[in-house]
Amino acid sequence: MMDSPLIAKETISLVVPFFNEAACIGTFFEEVMPVLERIENAECEIVCVNDGSTDTTLEQLVEATRVYPRVKVVDLSRNFGKEAAMTAGIDAAIGDAVIPFDADLQDPPEAIPDLVSKWREGFDVVIARRSERQTDTYAKRGTAAMFYRVHNAISDIKIPENAGDFRLMSRQAVEALKQLPENRRFMKGLFAWIGFKTASIEYARKPRVAGKTKFSGWKLWNFAMEGITSFSTLPLRVWTYLGGLTAVFALIYAAYLIVKTTVHGVDVPGYASTITAVLFLGGVQLIGIGVIGEYVGRMYVETKRRPVYIVRKVYQQDAPQ
């Protein structure tokens, strides 16, 4: 009897951006490495992207490459932001499947084998959905839900609700993602845009193991604006409709004034109504200009064709670059 042929091992890449996460690193590897080692018939690598950290994050990550042979550290030349750092990690990953992951461990490593199992069933994308997020504040949960509703209502590309960056993508999906040339990258939207056969799992979000979030309310607001303007032009069309509606009301009011003047004679106009109308229309125009400016700004940045990120150095055991 002939022996059955050996099954080639698959490579799983975990992509993890780090920005001033020195307090999390030790716990991160202690919890993640045992989970990856339990995945059957797979070799796992962890691509750690240092996004311009100013604490000891880089030093600790470089030390991790000496302890764990399958850890690669991509050190960026400065802080480019999480979306750019994630892009750098995905570009550097060599896995048959790639999983973006957060260093704070709010997304549990125990869910990774479930993602891999779904992928092995034939899905190109496996989304990890948050079944509950009690660790987030009520305001954050409410504003997140509002963002998903608004974005999905005005955009042709629907973003799954309660799903972050934590997901698995096949090599085919990753190669498709790498073809997208945007400099200003809203990764949740790009993940949704590429499509492919998709499944999902659910998990409970946990508290951060250490440190504090890098996203303030203002940054989250700007992030939401980035997402909306990246995948919808409806905010521009709204001002066309609003301008037309204002013009209709202006014509109706002009007709009313003509009739009133014809019937009752000339009336002395009031200062209050005049200044109110001027300020209202001026405010509407400025908001419209601001929305147009947001889109023009995006075009200005994109036409420069600057790289999304710059790599300073790559650290890997026995293969420094």
Instruction: Examine the domain organization and report whether 29 and 160 are in the same domain.
Output: yes
Instruction: Examine the domain organization and report whether 100 and 127 are in the same domain.
Output: yes
Instruction: Examine the domain organization and report whether 261 and 289 are in the same domain.
Output: yes
**CA angle (94, 100, 101) in 5-degree steps:** 125
Instruction: Examine the domain organization and report whether 76 and 194 are in the same domain.
Output: yes
- Asked if the structure places residue 321 within a domain, the reply is no
22-37 and 57-67 helices, crossing angle to 10°: 30
pLDDT in tens, 22-34: 888 888 888 888 8
Predicted confidence band of residue 143 (pLDDT cuts 50, 70, 90): low
DSSP string, 207-268: --SSS--S--HHHHHHHHHHHHHHH--HHHHHHHHHHHHHHHHHHHHHHHHHHHHHHH---P
CATH of the domain at 119: 3.90.550.10
- Asked if the structure places residue 151 within a domain, the reply is yes
Q: What is the average pLDDT value for the chain, to the nearest integer?
A: 77
Q: DSSP H helical segments within 127-216, as ranges? A: 138-154, 171-178, 187-194
Give the pLDDT confidence score for residue 2 in this predicted structure: 42
pLDDT in tens, 177-214: 888 888 778 787 788 888 888 888 888 777 655 556 55
Instruction: Examine the domain organization and report whether 78 and 224 are in the same domain.
Output: yes
Query: With contact defined as beta carbons under 8 Å apart, do 35 and 110 qualify?
Result: yes
- Comparing 308 with 276, the larger pLDDT belongs to 308
Averaged pLDDT, 51-59: 88
Give the pLDDT confidence score for residue 252 in this predicted structure: 74
- Asked if the structure places residue 243 within a domain, the reply is yes
- Asked if the structure places residue 2 within a domain, the reply is no
Q: Which of 168-177, 203-212, 280-289 has the lowest mean pLDDT?
A: 203-212
Task: Provide the token pair at 283.
Answer: 């405010």
Q: What is the domain extent for residue 134?
A: 10-232+306-316
Q: 116 exposed, middle or buried (CB, 10 Å; 0-12, 13-18, 19+)?
A: buried
- Asked if the structure places residue 141 within a domain, the reply is yes
In this structure, how many other beta carbons lie within 10 angstroms of the beta carbon of residue 191?
23
d(CA 171, CA 7): 18
Q: Nearest to residue 104, comparing CAs of 247, 208, 221, 214?
A: 208
Instruction: Examine the domain organization and report whether 239 and 107 are in the same domain.
Output: no
Instruction: Examine the domain organization and report whether 269 and 195 are in the same domain.
Output: no
Report the DSSP beta bridge partners of residue 47.
15, 72
- Asked if the structure places residue 4 within a domain, the reply is no
Instruction: Examine the domain organization and report whether 201 and 270 are in the same domain.
Output: no
d(CA 91, CA 88): 5
Q: Give the pTM.
A: 0.68
Instruction: Examine the domain organization and report whether 150 and 134 are in the same domain.
Output: yes
Instruction: Examine the domain organization and report whether 32 and 150 are in the same domain.
Output: yes
pLDDT in tens, 206-259: 765 555 655 555 565 565 666 566 666 666 667 667 777 776 676 677 677 667
- Asked if the structure places residue 285 within a domain, the reply is yes
Instruction: Examine the domain organization and report whether 137 and 34 are in the same domain.
Output: yes
Count of domains observed in the chain: 2
- Asked if the structure places residue 207 within a domain, the reply is yes
* b/e code 60-92 from CB counts within 10 Å (16+ = b): bbbebbeebebbbbbbbeebbbbbbbbbbbbbb
Give the pLDDT confidence score for residue 3 in this predicted structure: 44
Instruction: Examine the domain organization and report whether 276 and 205 are in the same domain.
Output: no
